[in-house]
Amino acid sequence: MFIALVFLNPIKRWVNYSSGKKGSPELKVLSFNTKAGHMGRDKIQTYLKSQNADVILLQEEGKGYEIEGYQKVNPFGGFTVLTRHKIISQKIIRPQGEDLRIPGVQIDIEVKGRVYRFIDVYLHPFRFEKEMVKLNGDSDANEQKVKDVIKKLIPTFKKHQEQVGLLRESIENSPYPVIVGGDFNSVPNSYEYYHVSEGLEDAFLSSGKGSGTSFHDYKFPIRIDYIFSSKSVHPVSYLVDRSISISDHYPVIAEFAIDSK
């Protein structure tokens, strides 16, 4: 029983069965890595419009989308935020020096009389090719593949450590409740997951059902897309939308109950 309790939460970060909605949804947030629209920009545009979300956080999206009734914020290539509400401020979460690998952007948005800080995240990718993670019966070839994977892992983990530190500054310095969403290129139970989500609530863990798998290009379960929120913002539902396949990621959608002024 003790062992089961120790491993319960780590397992639930991959596969979870909550009791369903825990309140009335008042704020809908959609996060989606669009793969730069390579699988069909028109399809993505139609899908985003159909969701009627309050805030849309897009990654790997340089051009953005024009949706009637939405303001678009595109402060840096790779990130686009769309919202039906009033934008108070925006900022690029920028590393020091000449490093152009931006881990995210922060947008402060007023919703129903209260301001929230939304952070759109895209951590540096590992850039694995499918063949690199596909083992076969050749032990020598498989050993070399493992070595090649490790060579890519170490420098990327170091880069993630820096990027996570910048994200934590944005979270901890926020005068407003925070909602963080995006492509973390990191699985649950990782350094990135634990440190970014510290003090926050994982919407999938709180209100999700079934598998949290959000990246489907490798044909085996990987959860690397998340939506976290301050404790004062209560997740009431969470969905990995597998009804469409217009990117190598599935959109993730969370609804929240919020307190108006």
The pLDDT confidence band at residue 5, using thresholds 50, 70 and 90, is: very low
Residues 208, 12 contacting (CB under 8 angstroms): no
Q: How far lies 79's CA from each of 7, 12, 17, 31, 261, in Å?
A: 35, 29, 31, 11, 30
Concatenated DSSP letters for 25-85? --EEEEEEE-GGGTT-HHHHHHHHHHH--SEEEEES-SS----TT-EEEEEETTEEEEESS
Residues 167, 193 contacting (CB under 8 angstroms): no
- pLDDT value of residue 134: 54
| Whether pLDDT at 211 is above 70 | yes
- pLDDT value of residue 136: 55
The pLDDT confidence band at residue 151, using thresholds 50, 70 and 90, is: low
φ/ψ of residue 113, rounded to 5: 85, 5
Pick 240 or 130 by higher pLDDT: 240
The pLDDT confidence band at residue 221, using thresholds 50, 70 and 90, is: confident
Give the whole-angstrom CA distance, residue 257 versus residue 250.
23
Residues 56, 82 contacting (CB under 8 angstroms): yes
Q: What is the pTM of this model?
A: 0.85
Look at residues 243, 241, 239 and name the one whose alpha carbon lies nearest to residue 254. 239
Mean pLDDT across 229-242 = 95
Give residue 173's identity as a one-letter amino acid code: N
| Whether pLDDT at 7 is above 50 | no
Residues 160, 169 contacting (CB under 8 angstroms): no
Mean pLDDT across 162-191 = 95
| Whether pLDDT at 249 is above 90 | yes
The 10 Å Cβ neighbour count of residue 62 is 14
Give the torsion through C-alpha atoms of 11, 12, 17, 20, to 10 deg: 180
Pick 156 or 66 by higher pLDDT: 66
Q: Which domains are present in the chain? A: 15-257 (3.60.10.10)
- pLDDT value of residue 191: 93
Kind and range of the H or E run holding 179: strand 178-183
